[in-house]
Amino acid sequence: MAEVSGMFTVQQTIGSVLCCKCGILMQPNAANMCAKCLRSEVDITEGLQKHVVIIHCPECDSYLQPPRSWIKAQLESKELLTFCIKRLKNLNKVKLMNAEFIWTEPHSKRINVRLRVQKEVLNGAVLEQTYTVEYVVQDQMCESCSKVQANPDQWVAAVQLRQHVSHRRTFFYLEQLILKHEAANRAIKIQQLVQGIDFFFAHRSHALKFVDFVSRVVPVRSRNDKQLVSHDHKSNNFNYKYTFSVEICPICREDLICLPPKVAASLGNVGPLVICTKVSNSIALLDPFTLRHCFLDADQYWRASFKPLLSSRQLVEYVVLDVDVVSEEVNIGGAKYVLADIQVARVSDFGKNDTMFSVRTHLGHLLHPGDYALGYDLYRANNNDIELDKYKGLVLPEVILIKKSYEEKRQKKRGKHRSWKLKSLNMEVDNSGKGRDQEQKLNSEYEQFLRDLEENPDLRFNISLYRNKEYQRSEVTSIADGEDVPSIPLEELLADLDLSDIDVEEDCIRE
């Protein structure tokens, strides 16, 4: 304001004074001492802890938060730094400015943290000082881990997941959801059976939380029971073992369904022949002849449950001969569909007969003459469905196409590693009654699950995909494959990228 008005201003200068102890020139402060002399006179870290003992469980990698709670934290993580700072006493007497780890050997059982604190000292002067706190790590197993070590079968609650179908595709998908959301971290044992998976927990609340998670991702119905283990008459304490039986809906993606008349009427007379396009906490159904769709939640399904007419194990491969688009592109739940009249023939009939079929399908945007498609052969199928008999005069189509097939193009890539991989739960496999045929069937179903992930982006939306370090991409492979076979883009594989690997690759490029 003075410069704008043209007034003369006097520049203020800060004088220097002599330190009252060592006599050097310095800027004046409230104590009239230089920083070196002030630190020699006053130690603001006096009375603060420099050595602390913390308890660590080596089994579950958690730390004891007195009196009885345990906190999981990795080395040099934010959670561990917060835990270490909270363990310090009298830290409220100073103002904490910064805290950071000092690197130590992981096997040294020492954690060093450098703290920078501030405090007001003589005559209002503010002094800042840095000091190091050493944390001594002592190993001691927590209660749950000690019980498991003493007796691995000592569980309190068990969750039995079951699905009455002839394949395990649902369990493969559910396993990846459990891994991503860490829903089974509290399980003390996981056992894989032929009919499903059993999860064992040390507390009933952990089992209830797991059952609640499963009910949010797939349509289920559950019941629970308890069994008395022991009873103390003096203290009147009862010990029970709890069992939760969880049944997953037998309807899976790509199943052909004949809706019961009452269910079809409640859904706006859709169908009655529909295709299951997606299964989450509700079932998404699509009429492939009209593109009408609907959703069926778990309560609606279990109120009038039904089974699929045909499942994915009964798919037949067809070759597309001609395509005639009928409608424009329609977006349903993020997926695109186009009605088309298509002429197809069974691949197995080539060289034997000239049987062809004219069908209407929802895959008009994907199929072109010469492509291969998978569908249900109702022309030769022997249907004994009760719900189908309730529709008198219903004329069944000869073929219902489900999806495009890439089997012929995959033959060229057979034996090659994928650029991605999946993690799996640490499960104990029950091999009783499991032969070589059963193992081959399981491997083929898992391979089909991996192919479904490549073909369907919606299916891998809630799944963590990891980079396969054994995969080596070559120019010949990339040119030969092109975009004929669906693949997973690199941006979806960032979950397992290691910064050290990136640095090594950059160094190789520079060289």
pLDDT in tens, 188-210: 889 988 888 999 998 899 999 99
Provide the residue ranges of all domains of the chain, joining segments of one domain with +.
Answer: 14-43, 44-143, 255-407, 420-473+485-492
pLDDT confidence of 499, banded at 50, 70, 90?
very low
Q: pTM of the entire structure? A: 0.71
Q: What is the mean pLDDT of residues 34-45?
A: 75
Which carries the bigger pLDDT value, residue 431 or residue 128?
A: 128
Q: What is the mean pLDDT of residues 415-433?
A: 77
Q: Please, what is the average pLDDT of the chain?
A: 82
Q: What's the half-sphere exposure (Cβ side, CA atoms, 13 Å) at 360?
A: 11
State which amino acid sits at residue 485.
V
Q: Alpha carbon 166 to chain centroid distance?
A: 25
User: CA nearest 180: which of 466, 404, 480, 448?
Assistant: 466
Which residues make Cβ contacts (< 8 Å) with residue 435, sequence separation at least 6?
none
According to DSSP, residue 494 is labeled B
The Cα angle at residue 45 between residues 86 and 22, in degrees rounded to 5: 160
pLDDT confidence of 225, banded at 50, 70, 90?
very high
pLDDT at 221: 92
Which carries the bigger pLDDT value, residue 497 or residue 10?
A: 10
User: CA nearest 196: which of 183, 214, 216?
Assistant: 214
Q: What is the mean pLDDT of residues 423-441?
A: 76
Is residue 48 pLDDT above 90, yes or no?
no
Q: What is the mean pLDDT of residues 442-451?
A: 86
pLDDT at 425: 87
pLDDT at 500: 45
Is residue 412 pLDDT above 50, yes or no?
yes
User: CA nearest 144: which of 72, 73, 193?
Assistant: 72
Six token digits for residue 242: 């709890």
Does residue 257 contact residue 275 with C-beta atoms inside 8 Å? Answer: yes
Is residue 268 pLDDT above 60, yes or no?
yes
pLDDT at 151: 66
Q: What is the mean pLDDT of residues 364-375?
A: 88
Q: What is the mean pLDDT of residues 180-192?
A: 88
Give percent helix, percent strand, percent coil of the chain, each to the nearest 5. Answer: 25, 30, 40
